Structure 1
Amino acid sequence: MNITQITHHDLDGYGASTVVGQFAEVARIVHVPRYSDVGPVVETELKRLGKASAPEMIVMTDLGLEAVAVTFLRNFAALNRRREPEARHRLVVLDHHASSVDQLREQGLAPLADPATPSLQRFDLEDPNLVVLIDEACCATRMAYEHRALYATRESGEDPILGALVTAVDAVDLWRKDRPAFRSGLSLDEMFWDNVSNLVPIGHPWHDRFVGDLLLGAARLLGDGASPAVIEGQVPALRKAILDGYLAEDAEDDRTLTTRMRIARVLARSDLFHPLSDGTLMSFGLDSGTFQRVSDLIMESGRAKRVLNVQRAGTMSFRSNNETALDGARRFRGGGHKDAAGGKLTSGSAFSLADAIAQVEPVLNPPAADPALTPFGALKNWKG
């Protein structure tokens, strides 16, 4: 069964995806930074599932359920009712936000208490393939670990490394300063934010694998009793060891370079950049330092003469080697140098690469006007 996970873009969200990945083969992970973006994401998934002939599974973790997300749950159940029993999809929602309970109640869904776990609330949408659990007493990473039977496709016993990861994330995500693991959780959180977007970006096949391996490597150190200072000092070595493994068979790898330099060379020859109609290569959500290095390598290789990066907040960075960066930026109320300039999306933000492409393409490369629609063309073609 094809499995997609939709999860929050923070330590708990990535902790949950790391845990799920240990018990199931996840084909795709969608990270959502803002709860307001959950609606467009799940609407896209619902349309895709409606066209899918084979049953699939969606695992949603650490996402606050706003009104549009609750509507998605109802629509998911309605979609399943229209499908043959053997073709029905499965949806597992593991959340711990009090606001989610409020939204579900407002839409007429009452929680069912779990006698074994008083803090756990279940919501019944009259579909056995749809499981919604909300537990305010633990983080999503812990929920993914404790409720793995809901999605697991392979057996696995108790794992002390995963246990250390779950304990640390749970303490810091719930902000339980009274727990011994709180300091460990803080060290994981610092490591996460220092590495989640500036090395292997979202969109590259290595992204979740890299962050997950880094979290598991740090959890292994925690299990051995390492202090936050020791973990901080070991992060560069962990990153290098992970990358050495990924590039073990890569003849073009140069281990005399820094980790960022080595990764930049991999990114420059990847499919991370989408070609626009004028040949500009566009990426989404790249760290500015990574974009600078990768765009230079791309242009140096001859793949493109202009490269563009769009951030979720709508800011845009153009780079070129033919003095066209400024021309592109000016179409988006921007400015700068001829080969290095920036602008801003008209809408102010983008929630995905596809969304960014839809906003950029018609402005950067507007369709040619139909001569017949111009005043002169209309007069020329008039037969009155």
Structure 2
Amino acid sequence: MRLTQITHHDLDGYGASTVAAACAEVDRVIHVPRYSDVGPVFEEEVKRLAKAQASETLLMTDLGLEEQTIAGLKRFAAMNKKRESEKHRLVVLDHHASSSEQLARQGLEPAPVAERPGLSRSDFGDPAITLLIEEDSCATAMTMTHRALFATHEPERQEDLAALIAAIDALDLWRKENAAFPGGIALDEIFWENATGLIPPGHPWHDRFVSALLLAAGQRLREGATPAQLEQDAVAIRTRIVNDLLADAPDDDANLTTRSRLARALARSDTLFRPLKDGTLLSFGLDSGMFQRVSDRIMEAGRTKRVVNVQRMGTLSFRSVDGTALDGARLFRGGGHRDAAGGRLQSGSAFSLADAIAQVEPVLNPEKPAGSDSPFAALKNWKG
């Protein structure tokens, strides 16, 4: 059964995806930074699942459930009820007090689970839907504890996973008295320094890279590494992972920095960049430094003359080799140099690659009215 995971874009969210990947083959992971974006992202998945013939499992972890998301949960239940074939499965593992409050407002107040103190469950009237909230546990630990809901096998490296989970749990719940807390602080710093700036979400290597980094850090914590030692080891750990990823790369140069080495591989990707109607290649959420390096290599290779990167907060960065970056930026209330310019989306934000394309395409390439290319079109409005 195909498994898709939607999870938070922080250490606990990635810890949950690392555990899930150790227990099952995860087809796709969607990382969501803002709880306000969970609703639209979830809505896209519900629409996709409504058209899917085969039964799938959707796993949601570490996502605060706001009103729009809860409305999506109800739509999922209604969609599942209409299916004549096998039902889709939905597993929601959360630990936010605000989620319990929002569910109660929507008439779905979680009820305590007798056999496990601190755990509560919301009932959607569909046995294929499981929603659990456990406020005294991080989402990474919940994913491990409740893995039977989605797992296909027992995870390997359980001791390393246990050390990783202990560190994330202590940090995420801010248990300063816990012996694992200092390691959690170091782990969090390493995570943010490496998670999104090198291999961006959406690339096939992204979750593989981050999970390998977290598991290696968990191993060092299990072996007794201090926070300072873990920080010192992080670069070597990252280099080993990148060496493995680039083992078969035809143009790798180990003398370059990690970012420059990875930029060569990312520039070949067909998943990070989508062509617009005018040939501009659009990416979503790339680190600004990585975008600069990757876009340069893409244009050097002749794949396009203009590239644009859209950030979640609505800023756009254009790069070009033909002086058109500034032209693009001006359409989005921006400015800059002819080959390097920036602007901002009218809506102020974007929640996915598809959303970014939907907002940028009609501005860069507006549809012409039918017949507007005709030499007689102007005569229709002539009042002479």
Q: TM-score range by the shorter chain?
A: over 0.9
Matches within 5 A, 1:339-378: 339-371=339-371, 376-378=378-380
2:22 and 2:156 in contact (8 A); partners too: no
Give secondary structure in 2 for the equivalent of 1:323: coil
Post-superposition CA distance 1:44-65 (Å, at most 9, x none): 1111111111000000000011
Match of 1:336 in 2: 336
Question: How far, CA to CA, are the matches of 1:340 and 1:99 in structure 2?
Answer: 42
- Tell me, in whole angstroms, the C-alpha distance in 2 between the residues paired with 1:72 and 1:370: 38
Q: Is the 8 A contact 2:309 2:316 kept in 1?
A: yes
Q: Deviation of residue 330 (structure 1)?
A: 0.6
Cα RMSD (Å)? 1.7
Distance 1:155 1:372, change over 3 A: closer
- Say yes or no: does 1:42 pair with 2:42: yes
Contact preservation (8 Å) 2:91, 2:131: yes
Instruction: Tell me the secondary structure at the aligned position of residue 128 of structure 1.
Output: coil
Q: Are the counterparts in 1 of residues 90 and 129 from structure 2 also a CA contact under 8 Å?
A: yes
User: In the TM superposition, what whole-angstrom CA distance separates every residue of 1:315-359 from its partner, at most 9, and x where no partner exists?
Assistant: 111111111111111111111111111111111110011100010
Once residues 58 and 139 of structure 2 are traced to their aligned partners in structure 1, the CA distance between those partners, rounded to angstroms, is 15
Distance apart, 1:377 and its partner CA:
3.7
Q: Does 1:91 align with 2:90?
A: yes
State the match for 2:282 in structure 1.
Answer: 282
Q: Distance in 1 between matches of 2:325 and 2:345?
A: 15
Give matches, 1:84-123, under 5 Å.
84=84, 87-123=86-122
Distance 2:362 2:287 in 1: 25
For residue 252 of structure 1, report the CA deviation from its aligned partner.
Answer: 2.1
The residue aligned with 1:220 is 219
Match of 2:195 in 1: 196
Worse-matched range after superposition: 105-114 or 367-376? 367-376
How far the C-alpha of 1:270 sits from its partner, in A, is 0.8
Where structure 1 has 5 or more consecutive residues not aligned to the other structure, the ranges are none
Q: Could you tell me which residue of structure 2 aligns to residue 7 of structure 1?
A: 7
For residue 121 of structure 1, give the secondary structure of its aligned residue in structure 2.
Answer: strand
Corresponding residue SS for 1:254: coil
Instruction: Please tell me whether residue 209 in structure 1 is matched to residue 208 in structure 2.
Output: yes
Taking structure 1 as reference, are residues 340 and 241 closer, same or farther at Cα in structure 2, changes over 3 Å only?
A: same
Structure 1 residues 172-231: Cα deviation after superposition (integer angstroms, max 9, x where no partner): 000110101111111111111111111000111101111111111111110100011111
CA contact (8 A) 2:325 2:339 kept: yes
Q: Which amino acid is 2:247 matched to? A: A
Distance in 1 between residues matched to 2:224 and 2:187, nearest whole Å? 14
- Identical counterparts, % of pairs: 61
Structure 2 CA distance for aligned equivalents of residues 367 and 235 of structure 1: 50
Identify the range of structure 1 (363-372 vs 282-291) with the bigger mean alpha-carbon deviation.
363-372
Instruction: Give the length in aligned residue pairs.
Output: 380
TM-score by length of 1: 0.96
**Cα separation, partners in 2 of 1:361 and 1:217, compared to 1, 3 Å:** same
> How big is the shift at 1:379?
4.6
In the alignment, which residue of structure 1 is the partner of 2:69? 69
Deviation, 1:254, is 1.5
Looking at structure 2, the residues matched to 79 and 322 of structure 1 have their Cα atoms a distance apart, in angstroms, of 49
Q: Any unmatched runs of 5+ in structure 2?
A: none
Take 2:144 and 2:320, find their aligned partners in 1: how far apart are those partners? Answer: 47
Q: Tell me whether 71-80 or 98-107 shows the greater mean CA deviation.
A: 71-80
Whole-angstrom distance in 2 between the partners of 1:123 and 1:242: 40
- Quote the offset at 1:156 in angstroms: 3.6
Q: Distance in 2 between matches of 1:293 and 1:225?
A: 38
| 1:230-245 mapped onto 2 (5 Å cutoff) | 230-245=229-244
Match in the other structure for 2:251: 252
The 3-state SS of whatever aligns with 1:87 is coil
Q: TM-score, with normalisation over the residues of structure 2?
A: 0.96
Whole-Å Cα distance in 1 between the matches of residues 377 and 347 of structure 2?
Answer: 31
SS state at 2:308 partner:
strand
**Residue 19 of structure 1: aligned partner:** 19
